[in-house]
Amino acid sequence: MSAPNSSSPAGVTGSDWSSYYASIQNYLNLPVSGGTTGPAAPAAPAAPAAPAAPAAPAAPAAPAAPSPIDARGMLIITGV
């Protein structure tokens, strides 16, 4: 039996190491022995689209409800 490689993960020695390394290469999508893996190079970008029409102005915001806290920090309790 071969001596464990110091860079091998625990329990992976000898011939197991090559299959382990190959599975890591596959998982990380790395080049394998002279070849390359992964998707083809992306196509050239399309011509830019015409600018969009300006958006309509936003409606004015509704007025804020009065705060139930007065200037002194006291809760204002009103009758029903």
What span, in angstroms and rounded, lies between the C-alpha atoms of 5 and 15?
11
Structure confidence at residue 58 (pLDDT): 80
pLDDT profile of the chain (80 residues), mean per 10:
55 70 78 59 74 79 76 76
Q: What confidence score (pLDDT) does residue 46 get?
A: 76
- Sort 70 into a burial class: Cβ within 10 Å, 0-12 / 13-18 / 19+: exposed
Q: Structural domain boundaries of the chain?
A: 9-37
Element housing 27 (H / E): helix 15-28
